[in-house]
Structure 1
Amino acid sequence: MENRELKKKLSAIKQLPALPRVVSHVLQLLQNPDSTAHEIGAAISQDQALASKVLRTANSAFYGFPRKITTINYAIVVLGLNNIKNIVLSSTIINGFSTSSSDGIFDRRAFWEHSLACGIFARKLSVHLGMKNSEEVFMWGLLHDFGKVVLDIYFHEEFIQAVELSRTEQTPLSTAEFEVFGFNHSGVGALLLRKWSMPLPLVKAVEYHHQPDQDHSAFRIASIVHAADYLCRRLAIGSGGDGTLPALNKKAWKLMGISADEVKQLSKEVLEEFALATEFLNEVEKAE
């Protein structure tokens, strides 16, 4: 899905952020099954701002732990490694791409609200499918569209042109991006995640969520995010930057094996959880 024009455009960005050294080390430890909680806690504690953010987010209503979590090691034990990874990665990316344009055409807060709701829906769908890595799936949904933010920051004029084109022609933003750039946000997000050595399932969920049957090996991964994105747009939680409901891939929807009544129930649960999850978003957005 990557193309030469995309690579050429992104390689020209000298300021394209790398993951901070401490964050990169923490994520490497979190992906290593031989790492101990003590090692991970010590690595997080090397960055006071990161440690503070982990503790604040761990104590938010989103996780709902009844007792106050006061140490990083305790947070790791209580929340588990996948939740800690989610906090570290989401806070780093959201803060790293927090520059907002003054024109307000692309609403960054509404964008992250949509992304957060998509993460919650993706996790719910993964549980419905009997998957064991539901917290990892949450991150697939949260970051599925983050290539849009990259485009908004580094190619602002062209991106706004794509946003306005999608609204004028009532076409999905991904389609308008292809018209303007020759590629879309899913390719941008996947390329950057690869650069950061992120887990392959996350990369493929981001890369193929608009076309889940384009890569057979990624079909289940991408289908979950595709369906979650569609359902979130139906609920109109936040904004992906356009107002067009994307076409639903029938094969991906069939894979979900979900009835109309189950969709209604899951939607109710997502809305309830999203009300608590806004505190999660508030915490990870805070700059130190």
Structure 2
Amino acid sequence: MNSQAIRQELDQSRAHGPLRQIVIPPCPDLLQRLQHAMKEAEPDLTEVARIAASDVAMAATLLRTANSPLHLADGMPCSTVGQAMNRLGLDETAAILTGFALRNAIPVNSPHLTRFWQRAAKRAHAMRYIARQLPGLSPDLAHTYGLFCHVGIPVLLQSVRGYGATMVEAGARIDRPYIATENVNHKTDHAVVGALLARAWSLAPSLMAAIRLHHDFESLGDADIEPEVHTLVAAGLIAEQLMRRHEGLPEDADWASHHQRAMDWLHISEEDLENWNEAVQDLLSEE
């Protein structure tokens, strides 16, 4: 399904299908302001700085990142939002603010989702690195995809009775994919719900489509789907594997079944993968 078909699917399911019961949290005002500031041909740096400074915890997150070992090259810590923005650059600043806004819009207080946002941040960092190795993929778009990829899970947990038990069951079953169990139990899944949130929050159409298709690896390379969507989905599978290596976890079923398809789409080799794995270890340790 291309982006237009996915929009139609979401609209129909929202109006008459299982998505009627899903409660999508409103897009945070700060994120709306950030999106508006960043969409201009020349982004409004003053407005971005105002957004960053408007929340103490958000400003602290920005400063903590700017003063982390990966960025503190000259040994001089940043003490203001402006200094942090200068060190990080506009795109990374916007990505950090987006992640902060997302975490606060959808709080996760469940034993089923331990370290959910920490892993989302890791995925986003890995996606940004991967995008910088690939021609034509925006690191900012890739980072946002990494943050939002699995956002349908906490939304479902908050909206649907019994979804916590479904998570346990889906994680334990080896006879069918995770999203198959979600669909059997609830007539929808976290990929669809995540795409619905992406649409409601006016994220880029390619992000919405990639979130919808991020477990549909059989569609990789389909001519009806936009190439950028394929690239995000393929890179997302690579990012997940790099995270699992960093965490000392075995490869998952998606990787075992579909990694060659993803690597072929991205035109990368096993040697490339090993080089990327070595390069991102320190980066992923930041989270």
**Which TM-score band applies after superposition, normalised by the shorter structure?**
0.7 to 0.9
TM-score normalised by L of structure 1: 0.79
In 2, are the aligned partners of 1:205 and 1:222 still within 8 Å (CA)? yes
* Structure-1 residue corresponding to 2:237: 226
**CA 1:244 to 1:129, structure 2 compared with 1: closer, same or farther past 3 Å?**
closer
Question: Which of the pair has the greater relative contact order for Cα pairs under 8 Å at 6+ separation?
Answer: 1
SS of match in other structure, 2:27? coil
Instruction: Report percent identity of matched pairs.
Output: 22
Deviation at 1:196, TM superposition (A): 0.9
Q: TM-score normalised to the size of structure 2? A: 0.79
* CA spacing shift, 1:45–1:9, aligned 2, 3 Å: farther
Hey, what does 2:113 align to over in structure 1? 107
Q: Which residue in the other structure is 1:284 paired with?
A: none
Match of 1:263 in 2: 273
Partners in 2 of 1:228 and 1:273 — Cα distance? 12
| 1:58 equivalent in structure 2 | 66
Instruction: Give the Å deviation of 1:13.
Output: 4.8
RMSD of aligned Cα (Å)? 3.0
Of the three residues 16, 21, 26, the one matched with 2:29 is 21
Q: Deviations over 1:138-171 (max 9, x none)?
A: 2212321121121122225134224314413453
Instruction: Quote the Cα distance in structure 1 between the aligned partners of 2:120 and 2:52.
Output: 25
Deviation by residue 1:209-268 (Cα, 9 ceiling, x = unmatched): 2225365212223222233234544x27388xx984213164432022222222222222
Question: Per-residue CA shift, 1:9-40, capped at 9, x if unaligned?
Answer: 554455x3212223321221122223331232
Q: Which moved more, 1:258-267 or 1:38-47?
A: 38-47
Letter in 1 for 2:262: A
Give yes or no for contact 1:152–1:160 (8 Å, CA) kept in 2: no
- Per mean C-alpha deviation after superposition, the further-off stretch among 5-14 and 169-178 is 5-14
For the structure 1 residues 83 and 114, does the alpha-carbon distance in structure 2 shift closer, same or farther, using more than 3 Å as the test? same
- Distance change in 2, residues 1:142/1:47 (3 Å): closer
Could you tell me how far 1:195 is from its partner in structure 2? 0.7
* Deviation per residue, 1:51-101 (Å, 9 max, x gap): 333333333345445432223233333222221121111112123322323
Residue of structure 1 in register with 2:42 after alignment: 34
Q: Any idea what SS the aligned residue of 1:248 has?
A: helix
> Following TM superposition, by how much is the alpha carbon of 1:114 offset from its aligned partner in structure 2, in angstroms?
3.6
Q: Given that residues 116 and 142 in structure 1 are in contact (C-alpha distance below 8 angstroms), is that contact kept between their aligned partners in structure 2?
A: yes
Q: Could you say which residue in structure 1 is the equivalent of 2:176? A: 171
Per the alignment, residue 54 of structure 2 pairs with 46
Cα distance change, pair 236–45 in 1 and its aligned pair in 2 (3 A): closer
Please list every run of 5 or more consecutive structure 2 residues that lacks an aligned counterpart in the other structure: 1-5
Give me the whole-angstrom Cα distance separating, in 2, the residues matched to 1:245 and 1:259. 20
Alignment: residue pair count: 269
Could you tell me which residue of structure 2 aligns to residue 124 of structure 1?
A: 129
Alignment-derived partner of residue 282 in structure 1: none
Counterpart in 1 of 2:87? 78
Of 57-66 and 178-187, deviating more is: 57-66
Going from structure 1 to structure 2, the CA distance change for 1:260 and 1:244 (only over 3 Å counts) comes to closer
Q: Report the CA distance shift for 1:166/1:33 in structure 2 as closer, same or farther (over 3 A).
A: same
| Per-residue CA distance 1:110-144 (angstroms, 9 max, x = gap) | x3344333323323332222346224312212321
CA distance in 2, matches of 1:201, 1:238: 31
